[in-house]
Amino acid sequence: MVMEHGADKIGPARDEMMKKALRAEMTTDRSLRAAEERELQPAGEDQPEVAQAPDRVFRGGTPQGMTEEDVGIRSELARHLGRSIYPADKPSVIDKLRRDNAPDRLVSLAEKLPPEGTYPNMQSIAQSLGLGTERRRG
């Protein structure tokens, strides 16, 4: 048997097949660890959440045209409203926030929406509330 040293000569077709197999292995919903005791464990119910920088609140970037507060309010509203509500009017926005047990400050903010009009997305709600919205790059 002759052994070759250096680069492995598999071929492009076999290489692609191996990449797909590895990708499938990495995206499965099962553990890739051999021993169960080596699995990462989630924090317990009575334990605090772990923060990457405990001395400050982690926030993502702030788009141009928005403040950090605008981003926070908008993302909290979007989390409570979801996607299935659109197109929405003022009563349906308020009703959805109440059904989702949103904080009272979000419900009172939604009550400031103009009574007429339909909102096709979160952007239009934010604009109607006077929140800053990101500017599109030209």
- Locate the domains of the chain by residue range: 68-128
- The residue that leads in pLDDT, 132 or 125, is 125
CA dihedral 32, 33, 38, 44 (to 10 degrees): 20
Can you give the pTM of this predicted structure?
0.52
Integer Cα distance of 119 and 105 in angstroms? 20
| Other C-beta atoms lying within 10 Å of the C-beta of residue 33 | 10
The answer to whether the CB of 64 falls within 8 A of the CB of 134 is: yes
Length of the chain in terms of residues written: 138
Task: Tell me the pLDDT tens digit for each residue of 101-114.
Answer: 888 888 998 899 98
